[in-house]
Amino acid sequence: MSGGAALADASWSGRTDGLSLLAYGCKVMNLIPFFQQLEANANFRMLVADHIQKQFFDNGPFTVQNATARFTGLENQIYGPTVPESARWGDVLRPSQPYTRNVEWQAEINRILNQYIPQRTAIQDATIIPAITNRMLTNPS
């Protein structure tokens, strides 16, 4: 990547032609062909499979329990300061019915804990992680 810019955050749009990796904070860069070239190396495939195993299984950080604990820890740190912050933004957007920590903010916390985290981390129980791991281990590409 020219100019020394780093890929700070990226999102894959789901296209299969390799043309729509969206990068924020740097130039658009397609990493898929680079990864596909690396897949030809058995050591790389094993390394990726090891990382997937470590992150998504066996008490890794992306298990539901650990992701929930991490989120709850962060939520506990900002619980108190959300009162003055909600007064700052809640009263402006809805003067007759201001947003509050105990209603709207807590509802969003509950949604994240009960829907978002379990759904996002449940990928380990679906077919994608085992399929990727299996492909990385068995595909000599």
pLDDT tens digits, one per residue of 67-105: 999 999 999 999 998 888 777 776 777 778 888 888 888
**Statement: residue 11 has pLDDT above 80:** no
Q: For residues 13 and 7, is the Cβ–Cβ distance under 8 A? A: no
In the block, which residue shows the tokens 């298990």?
Answer: 63
In 99-140, alpha helices (H): 106-111, 117-121, 128-138
pLDDT tens-place string over residues 129-141: 566 656 655 655 5
pTM: 0.59
Mean pLDDT across the stretch 5-23?
Answer: 44
Distance CA 96, CA 78 (A): 25
